[in-house]
Every structure is written in C-alpha cells, then in structure tokens.
Structure 1
Amino acid sequence: MNRESNTYTFIFAIGMVVIVAFLLAFAATSLKPKQSENVRKEKMQNILKSIGIDVEREAAEGKYKDYIKEELSLVADGSVDESSDAFDVDLNKELKLPVDEQHFPLYVADVEGEKYYIVPLRGAGLWNAIWGYVSLKDDLNTIVGVTFDHAGETPGLGAEITQPWFQAQFEGKKIFDESDELVGVRVSKSSGAKGENEVDAISGATITGNGVTAMIKERLSHYLPYFKKQKTQLALN
C-alpha cells in the first residue's frame, strides 16, 4: 500500500486509536484494585482524623483496627441492620433513596478508654458535593473533631473547609441546644464570641458555610433514634 495515500493515513490513524484505547483500558483495569485500596485506606485515615489520630495513609488500616471497635449500619428507626456492611455504605447513593430505605453508617471508637461515635457526613456546597466526618463524645452531644472535604469549592474561599484552622473550631462544640433540641453547629457570619452551637464563617464563602451547617444537622438528625436508645441505656447504667 502506498504510504503517502489518504487510505494508508486513514487506516494508520484508526490503528493507532485502537491501540491507544486498548492500552488505556488495560492500564485502567490494572490500576483499579490499587486505586480502590487507596480510597479505602484514605477513608480509614479520615475517620481516624476526626478523633484526633493523624496517620499516613499506608499506616491507616493498622491504626483503624486499633481504635475502631464497631462498624454499625443503622436504619431509620435506630436499629442495626446486621446484613449491611457499614464501611461499604455509599452516602452518595444512599441520599438518592427515600429516608426509610437509607442506611446510616456509624463507627464506634475507643481512644484510651474514651468512647467516641463517628458519623459520616455528605451534603452540597456552592459548586458540588461536600462531605466529611464528625465525632462525638459518649454524651452524644460534644464534638471531638471533624474532617471536611469537597469536590469543587473555590480555592481560598469555600475550599477552606479542608483547612485545620476551620475544622479546629468545631472541637468542644455541642450539637444540642439548652432545650435538648438538635441544632447541629452553625457556620455563622456574626461578629463576636461564638456560642456552643456555632463557629466562625469563612469570609466570602457563605454558600459553602451554609452547606456545612445544613449537612451536619441533616445527617445527625437521622441518628436521633439511636442516640436516644444509647442515652437511655447510659442513664440505666
């Protein structure tokens, strides 16, 4: 075949496209197990970070087993669905289901004899999804720590929810008010000292801050039946 002909050029281009597509597909398939493993370890890393345990990703699994004593998959009435694996629950998919069909993962940790409850979060920021974890002391009211992440918030503005200075504000805050009503923690633009249920907002990131506020309260609201059972049990003991 004449290598200078249009037919040769066309066939050569098609061949290259097929070869490149095959190589890309092969690479994606080959790397998928490693990518999935990295995502799993990063999830453990973030769960641990919410209770103040900072570890490298490769060390996360070992530390996770040291501190996380229970993985519970709750349903709407606060009971545990033993047939569901809490760690594998995908909140992105769960949020698309009716509430009474959703599962609500909960992780129970033991840190030097202190019992902590870790709740996964997912909501909406300005441009895309935001998510994270909030950990509570065994009073199921006081926050131990939080972690937040995002899919596409603005650098220097909404993306600041990932920064230590913002997340540190949540430590010691309460999710219930003085009337024992769930209020979560409000990201507030008001000046002056902040109360037990609010933290300082990020300048120029009102919508992202409102998303964090709504996300915390909405997700925690589904755990109230379980929290009530635990508080009753604690009172009896």
Structure 2
Amino acid sequence: MEEKSVNKTNSNGYTFMFAVVMVVVVASVLAFAATSLKPTQQENVRREKMQNILATVGIETSREGAQEQYDKYIVEELALDSNGEVDESANAFEVDLAKELKKPVEEQIFPLYIADVEGEKYYVVPLRGNGLWNAIFGYISIKDDINTVKGATFDHVGETPGLGAEITKEWFKESFENEKIFDENGNLVGVSVVKGDIDPSDKDDNKVDAISGATITGDGVSDMISERLKRYLPYFRKQGDIKVAIK
C-alpha cells in the first residue's frame, strides 16, 4: 500500500510539472509571435487608415498601393488646436482620436487632411462617436466650398449585423455624397440620419435616410459628424481662399 501511494504521488507531481512547463512554453511562443507580428499589424492598420482617407475623395486603392496613392493625393496633414491654429509639435497622422476625445476640447488636437485630386481640393476630417454598443468612427471629406460633402466612410467596434453595422455598406456611405453641412441660414448642422420620407435627390436638406432598426447608431453618426465638424470652424474661418463665407 505504501509503494502504491508513493507511485501515485510521483505520478501527480509529474503531471503537474508537465502542465506547468507546457503553459510556460505556450505562453512564450504566443508572446514571441505577438511581438514578431506587431510591426506587420501596425503597418496594416496604418495602410488601412490611408485607404479610408482616400476613399472619401473617390480614390480606391489596395492596401499594398495605399502609401503610393496617399503620397500622391494627400498634399497636407495638419494638426490643429481648438483655436484653429496649426500645432507644429504634433503629427496629425499619429493622433489617436479615441484618446483625444477623453481630453477637454481646448486640449484636444484635431487632425485635418487636405487632398488634391485632379486640381480639386478636399478637406478630410476624422470622425469618432458612440453607436449602440460601442465606438463608431470614420472620415468625411468636404469640397472646397466648405459646405458640400465629397464622400464619407464609416466603421464600428460592435454594432449589430444587419442593423447598426450597415453604416459600413456602400449604399449608406454613398447617401452622404453632395449633402450640405450648413443649413440655409449658414449654420453648421452637419448631416443627420433621419427616419421618414427622405428625398435622396434633395442635397440641401442636410439629411440622409436612416437604417431600419438602427436608430441609436444613426443618431450616433449624426452627432459625431456635427460635433467633429464644428471643431474645425476656427480653422476654416482663418482661411482666405475658401469659396463661401463661414459663419
């Protein structure tokens, strides 16, 4: 009985040690893989960001070709402060909007990308807000009149497939094209996602048709567009070459 007890103890100890060694080995392999893949993952994120910025001005490109097209069409990257002044100490492309939004407005940095496509100038503004379940984000480009939307792109962290997640679909993004961000009185109102009888051909109503069953996500899109765009008014007011008056 004593010999059997010793054997049983040795067997349990071996199993425990084997499990510990395997956990350490697997954790080391995963840590090494994560460290090794991190530069590639970061580069993919960077190029995807370029793709999204370019998409708002009508330039579609592969991830592999994103850098070349970005360098061709994006002629300026500006990091603005809340007064519309350029902050030379900040890198616009590296600004993390999620972190900026946690700061008071007067301490935030506002990235702005200026594109030149066949002689036409566009201003691309990053967007970030709240959907139903988590963050929603994207980019919106404004034509040189500082009023007409050229294009928009949206994404999300965890909206519901078939409902809020529809903000990523082409039909939804295309509905923003040529919409106005100022109302007839010159007030910046953005573009609202609205339920009801919306005429898609009316580009002066500051509205696009809502996604069925996704009211909260649609409201989030509306809010983040108007909230983000108004932060750039101080900059646009300082520009002497814009084609319309900004109130």
Does the pair score TM above 0.5? yes
Kindly indicate whether residue 161 of structure 2 is the aligned counterpart of residue 155 of structure 1: yes
User: Deviation string for 1:154-198 (max 9, x for gaps)?
Assistant: 000000000000000000000000111000000010214255200
User: Deviation string for 1:85-126 (max 9, x for gaps)?
Assistant: 000000000000010000000000000000000000000000
Distance 2:51 2:177 in 1: 18
Distance 2:112 2:7 in 1: 67
Look up the SS of the partner of 1:58 in the other structure.
coil
Q: Which residue of 1 aligns with 2:13?
A: 7
Distance 1:5 1:208 in 2: 57
Q: Which residue of 1 aligns with 2:3?
A: none
- Contact 1:69/1:110 (<8 A) preserved: yes
Unmatched runs of 5 consecutive residues or more in structure 1: none
User: Deviation string for 1:32-61 (max 9, x for gaps)?
Assistant: 000000000000000000111011111100
1:39/1:163 CA distance change after superposition, 3 Å: same
Distance 2:173 2:47 in 1: 21
Q: Which residue, 177, 200, 224 being the options, matches 2:233?
A: 224
- Contact 1:142/1:174 (<8 A) preserved: yes
Q: Which residue of 2 aligns with 1:191?
A: 197
User: Deviation string for 1:51-92 (max 9, x for gaps)?
Assistant: 110111111000000000000000000000011000000000
Look up the SS of the partner of 1:23 in the other structure.
helix
Q: Which residue of 2 aligns with 1:124?
A: 130
- Contact 2:115/2:121 (<8 A) preserved: yes
- Contact 1:145/1:171 (<8 A) preserved: yes
C-alpha RMSD of matched pairs (Å): 1.6
Distance 1:185 1:38 in 2: 30
Q: Which residue, 205, 210, 216 being the options, matches 2:219?
A: 210
Distance 1:228 1:136 in 2: 15
- Contact 2:146/2:242 (<8 A) preserved: no
Kindly indicate whether residue 107 of structure 2 is the aligned counterpart of residue 76 of structure 1: no
1:18/1:35 CA distance change after superposition, 3 Å: same
| Identity score, percent | 66
Q: Which residue of 2 aligns with 1:144?
A: 150
Distance 2:191 2:92 in 1: 25
Kindly indicate whether residue 209 of structure 2 is the aligned counterpart of residue 200 of structure 1: yes
Kindly indicate whether residue 46 of structure 2 is the aligned counterpart of residue 54 of structure 1: no
Distance 2:180 2:120 in 1: 18
Distance 1:151 1:132 in 2: 11
Look up the SS of the partner of 1:53 in the other structure.
coil
State the shift of 1:233 in Å. 3.9
State the shift of 1:235 in Å. 6.4
Query: Which protein shows a greater Rg?
Result: 2
Q: Paired residues, what number?
A: 235
Structure 1's consecutive aligned runs of 4 or more residues displaced over 6 angstroms after TM superposition are 1-4
Look up the SS of the partner of 1:123 in the other structure.
strand
State the shift of 1:2 in Å. 6.3
1:45/1:192 CA distance change after superposition, 3 Å: closer
| Counterpart AA for 1:38 | N
- Contact 1:2/1:8 (<8 A) preserved: no
Distance 2:23 2:168 in 1: 40
